[in-house]
Every structure is written in structure tokens, then in C-alpha cells.
Amino acid sequence: MENKKLSYNEAMREVENILSEINSEQVDVDTLSEKVERASELLKMCKEKLAKAQEKVDKVLAQ
């Protein structure tokens, strides 16, 4: 799924699903690195969205 089209909540749900799969040992070794890489991409996107939201809040509060 394309990161740009995901909302913050959708991305976090996907991260939670990936973590759940890893913790329950449902992911085989061959796909583990792909899952970890995807989770990393999603978390980076979420951090960027949070930073942008914080900037907007700071601007509003500064007015």
C-alpha cells in the first residue's frame, strides 16, 4: 500500500498488525526483513505527520 495514501491511524494499525504477526511468530524468516522494513517506513511516515501537526499547532498557539 502506498504510504502517501494512508492516514496516521491506518499506518499505525498496519504497524500493530505487523508487530502482532512477528510476536506470534506467524512470519517466516524469508519475509521477516520485508515486514520490518515496511514497519520502519510506516513509522517514519507517522513521525513526519506528527511533526507537521505539531508545527501547525505551534503556529496557531503563537498567534
Q: What is the average pLDDT score of the chain?
A: 91
Place of cell 498488525: 17
User: pLDDT per residue over 20-45, tens digit each?
Assistant: 999 998 788 889 999 999 999 999 99
Name the burial class of residue 11, with classes exposed (0-12), middle (13-18) and buried (19+) by CB atoms within 10 angstroms of its CB. Answer: buried
pLDDT at residue 29, rounded to an integer: 86
What's the pLDDT score for residue 30?
A: 85
* Helices and strands counted in the chain (H then E): 2, 0
CA dist., res. 36 & res. 5, Å (int): 20
Residue 4 clears pLDDT 90, i.e. is over it: no
